[in-house]
């Protein structure tokens, strides 16, 4: 026969109570008086902290809890008269051998032998706590590495993740328009932007230092094309006073389920180098205009035979990248390889199209480079008829003293 409903309910309650009692054995429980001293602790907690029950009563809370946790318990005791529900909190016990024992605690005010007290029922984090501690330790280590680095480091966290599955133009738009914040920007990064010492870059709007511009859209485009892993990509940021700063970035990204959540990298200020390159380009442009005004065919080659400048007269007479240019480049490379200094003055230069005159001088180029300035003229007809070719002129001596006509 089925048991009466009342008997069944009583049995359910008995088994539930037994289950609750067994569960209590897995919890760490203590009771703290208003004076901040332990009144009682269960056997499970006593084992965890390595103290017998008869030594627990009367101990101050800082004998069992870390300083931060003891402060938390003390703050709860100060509000004991207010009563009410208390939220769960994290508390760390000092276990056997000084080992930290992290717990999740549920505090509540109770009456203990007629006086108000604070009961703390705690669950050991166990393996989860150890993993959490490991992650915290790693985060602290990483933070220390970034803070103490001499190279500028930055990270951008997208509070609104960017959908990388969209067309490129839309991804670029979201990178600049979705809400984002700086994270883990170190002191060298703040110095790069010339922020005041009392200003925290991590609290500032990303767009103040990294504005949307055509140059920075190209920068993001490069990141996308490189599958979000690129080195030495150029961005143009803004210093605190609004002046532009040219930065070379090594960039990495975190993409989860197709959404860009974080960009980070390290960077180098190349503003001075960029200005030097700009100045060199402007000087080269001026020099090119000067050579274009010369009626003779002129070509300037570097030590590797690469073209620095070819003027309009050279292009008109010999073309661009044609036989003459390749022949002159070969002469330059040979001279540079053997350390030969070109003769001063004119020399003859035989070609399939007739004899030419060549004037070759080496001059300092940009930086530490050496430029070869070569002027090519047709051989004057009257001079050729009279036999007065440049080949009859300059000579040089070999080291053995033999005389040799200039190269033809």
In the chain, where are the structural domains located?
22-128, 150-269, 292-405
pLDDT tens by residue, 283-293: 777 778 888 88
| Arithmetic mean of pLDDT, 220-235 | 96
Residue 30 predicted with pLDDT over 80: yes
Mean pLDDT value of segment 232-251 = 94
pLDDT of residue 279: 59
Domain 22-128 coded CATH 3.30.450.20: yes
pLDDT digits (tens, 9 = 90+) for 245-258: 999 999 999 999 99
- C-alpha to C-alpha distance for 114 and 331, rounded to whole angstroms: 107
Topology alike, domains 22-128 and 292-405 = yes
Distance CA 84, CA 249 (A): 54
pTM: 0.52
Is residue 136's pLDDT more than 90? no
Is the pLDDT confidence value at 268 over 70?
A: yes
Is residue 51 pLDDT above 50, yes or no? Answer: yes
Quick one: pLDDT band at residue 96, thresholds 50, 70, 90?
A: confident
Q: What percent of the chain has pLDDT over 90?
A: 47
Which CATH number does the domain 292-405 belong to among 3.40.50.300, 3.30.70.360, 3.30.420.10, 3.30.450.20?
3.30.450.20
Q: Which comes out higher in pLDDT, residue 69 or 22?
A: 69
CATH number for the region 150-269 comes to: 3.30.450.20
Is 325 within 8 Å of 297 (Cβ atoms)? no
At residue 1, does pLDDT exceed 80?
Answer: no
pLDDT of residue 142: 83
| Helix pair 214-225, 168-177: axis angle to 10 deg | 120
pLDDT in tens, 166-192: 999 999 999 999 999 999 999 999 999
Above pLDDT 70, what percent of the chain? 81
d(CA 305, CA 329): 4
- Which distant-in-sequence residues (6+ apart) come within 8 Å of 166 by Cβ? 174
Residue 367 has pLDDT above 50, yes or no: yes
Q: How confident is the model at residue 391 (pLDDT cuts 50, 70, 90)?
A: very low
């Amino acid at each position: 026969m089925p048991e009466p409903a009342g008997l069944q309910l009583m049995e359910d309650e008995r088994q539930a109570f037994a289950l609750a009692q067994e569960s209590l054995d897995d919890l760490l429980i203590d009771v703290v008086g208003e004076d901040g001293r332990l009144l009682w602790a269960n056997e499970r907690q006593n084992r965890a902290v390595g103290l017998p029950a008869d030594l627990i009563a009367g101990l101050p809370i800082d004998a069992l809890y870390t300083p931060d946790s003891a402060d938390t318990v003390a703050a709860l005791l100060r509000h004991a008269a207010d009563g009410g529900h208390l939220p769960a909190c994290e508390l760390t016990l000092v276990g056997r051998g000084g080992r930290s024992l992290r717990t999740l605690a549920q505090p509540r005010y109770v009456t203990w032998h007629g006086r108000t007290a604070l009961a703390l029922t705690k669950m050991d984090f166990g393996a989860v706590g150890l993993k959490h501690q490991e992650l915290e330790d790693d985060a602290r280590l990483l933070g220390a590495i970034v803070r103490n680095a001499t190279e500028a480091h930055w990270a951008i966290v997208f509070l609104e993740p960017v959908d990388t599955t969209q067309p490129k133009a839309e991804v670029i738009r979201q990178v600049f328009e979705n809400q984002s914040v700086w994270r883990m920007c170190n002191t060298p990064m703040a110095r790069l932007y010339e922020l005041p010492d009392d200003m925290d870059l991590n609290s500032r709007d990303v767009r103040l230092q990294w504005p949307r511009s055509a140059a920075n859209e190209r920068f993001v485009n490069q990141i996308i094309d490189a599958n979000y892993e690129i080195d030495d990509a150029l961005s143009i940021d803004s210093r605190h006073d609004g002046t532009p700063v040219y930065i070379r970035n090594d960039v990495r990204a975190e993409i989860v389920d197709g959404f860009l959540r974080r960009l980070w990298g390290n960077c180098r200020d190349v503003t001075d180098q960029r200005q030097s390159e700009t100045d060199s380009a402007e000087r080269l442009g001026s020099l090119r205009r000067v050579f274009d005004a010369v009626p003779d065919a002129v070509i300037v080659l570097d030590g590797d035979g690469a073209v620095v400048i070819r003027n309009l007269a050279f292009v008109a007479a010999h073309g661009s990248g044609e036989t003459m240019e390749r022949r002159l480049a070969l002469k330059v490379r040979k001279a540079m390889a053997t350390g030969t200094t070109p003769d001063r003055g004119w020399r003859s230069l035989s070609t399939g199209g007739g004899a030419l005159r060549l004037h070759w001088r080496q001059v300092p180029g940009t930086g530490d480079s050496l430029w070869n300035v070569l002027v090519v003229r047709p051989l004057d007809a009257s001079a050729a008829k009279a036999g007065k070719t440049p080949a009859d002129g300059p000579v040089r001596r070999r080291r053995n003293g033999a005389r040799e006509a200039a190269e033809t």
